[in-house]
Amino acid sequence: MAQRPAPSPAPASAAALAPAHRSADANQEAALLQGLPPILDERTRVLVLGSFPGAASLAAGQYYAHPRNQFWPILAALHTPPAWPALPPDYAARRQWLLQQGIGLWDVYASCERQGSLDSAIRNARVNALHSLRQRCPHLALIAHNGGESYRHRRLSQALGLPVLRLPSTSPANASWSFERKLAAWRAALLPALLPTPSPAQPTAPGHDTACTSPAPQ
């Protein structure tokens, strides 16, 4: 006697699947990312404002931690010793190095929702309290936005009454700019605000020649 084939299992109803989908959506909505605390103090003269840390930076708890981000290599090459001390390899030492050079780091966004690391994926962002910068950094002389997403909020930094610049993003996503081109733009923008201004030459008294000296070795 021939056996009847076993009946196929009934497809799951839409109602049975709905809770799982709702749960996944709820988890995505709850994935609010928190940014990093600022690196700045009363010595800060230039503040570099990014948009929001990428996934690698959030995981490491460090600014610009992605190995292909060119921020740290650009800072290391910004100038030459002895006017520009070598950039240390350790992140904790780099924080102190930044403060000693008068450089501060922060981001425009304090928190946001984002899938991946692209600025274009940022949703429901909350901005940082940039209005407090003049009190926290009395010697602040320049705000440099690292990339277009940060610069989109320039009205917040312009409200401080300080010079505001847009610099080419150091992100690996900004592949249309070579390292050399980025370095030249960052160097031209930052060094005038970071390096001490030479004192004006004293006028030579009549009848006296000015001594010629060789420049100090660099």
pLDDT tens digits for range 19-32: 333 334 444 454 78
Query: Does residue 12 form part of some domain?
Result: no
Express each pLDDT in 115-141 by its tens digit.
Answer: 876 766 778 889 999 999 999 999 999
Asked, for residue 212, whether it belongs to a domain, the answer is no
Q: How far apart are CA 91 and CA 89, in angstroms?
A: 6
User: Which residue range(s) make up the domain with 90?
Assistant: 35-194
Under 8 Å between Cβ of 113 and 56: no
Q: How confident is the model at residue 189 (pLDDT cuts 50, 70, 90)?
A: very high
Band of pLDDT at residue 156, cut at 50, 70 and 90? very high
Is residue 131 included in any domain, yes or no? yes
Query: 128: domain CATH number?
Result: 3.40.470.10
Give residue 126's pLDDT.
92
pLDDT at 78: 94
Q: Is 44 a domain residue? A: yes
Number of domains in the chain: 1
pLDDT value of residue 3: 53
Sheet holding 103-107, edge to edge: 103-107, 46-50, 142-146, 164-167
CA distance 192 to 196: 8
Residue 10 lies in a domain: no
State residue 6's pLDDT score. Answer: 53
Kindly state whether residue 204 falls inside one of the protein's structural domains.
no
Residue 180 lies in a domain: yes
CA-CA distances (angstroms) from residue 156 to 2, 53, 125, 133, 167? 80, 19, 15, 11, 17
The count of C-alpha atoms lying within 13 angstroms of the C-alpha of 202, restricted to the half-sphere facing its C-beta, is 7
Is position 144 within any domain?
Answer: yes
Cis peptide, bond prior to residue 82, ω within 30 of zero: yes
Give residue 102's region: left, alpha or beta (phi > 0; psi -120 to 50): left
